[in-house]
Structure 1
């Protein structure tokens, strides 16, 4: 599903369609896309505190906008899959991570 959606987003970038929200984002550029990613991230956080159905909805919005960002930056989805693959099965020790209040 994610690959199909990503491919559709890239196709819209390469072959714009009149009235497409995806093309609106590309036309407005990186700053608009980043603003939407930030807004959607905040909405996911709020939804997580409220309602599971709302969390699913807002997460879908965030994933969509992240895919638009990747397409804008010409980063193939396969690069993300490779990075996740490198991390699979590795033990991440909490002592190796900064405390949240140190970020």
Structure 2
């Protein structure tokens, strides 16, 4: 990614943080925050389904738009829960060059057995 592409994620993350204390009537993002995690998570799910449908239709322009919506709403949820775009970029950097099978196995090995709380 060129710096401008990374910068937009940083700027968006900052804007989303700034909206956290805003009146729900002042912006779409502030209204999502006011409605809570369940609504935001549901919105991420809706955008994921719309992404899948655009892919199945092989509609490239729609797919790009839906992925943008998915990223946006995922970031809204992440910021609401105290995270940032930089954390996701750091995680992607950490995974770079690691086989997907190895990375997934490492995550599964780190999980406590079912029925056991950590």
Task: Report the TM-score when normalising by structure 1.
Answer: 0.83
- CA RMSD in angstroms comes to 1.8
Q: Within the alignment, does 1:40 sit opposite 2:47 as a pair? A: yes
Per chain length, whose mean CA-contact separation is higher, i.e. which structure has more relative contact order (CA < 8 Å, sep 6+)?
A: 1
**Residue in structure 1 matched with residue 26 of structure 2 by the alignment:** 19
User: Aligned residues, how many?
Assistant: 96
Q: Within the alignment, does 1:63 sit opposite 2:84 as a pair? A: no
- C-alpha distance after superposition, 1:35-87 (max 9, x if no partner): 10000000000001121111011111111100101111001222212211110
Q: Is the 8 A contact 2:24 2:34 kept in 1?
A: no
| In structure 2, distance between residues paired with 1:21 and 1:93 | 39
Runs of 4+ in 1 over 6 A off after TM superposition: none
Task: Report the TM-score when normalising by structure 2.
Answer: 0.73
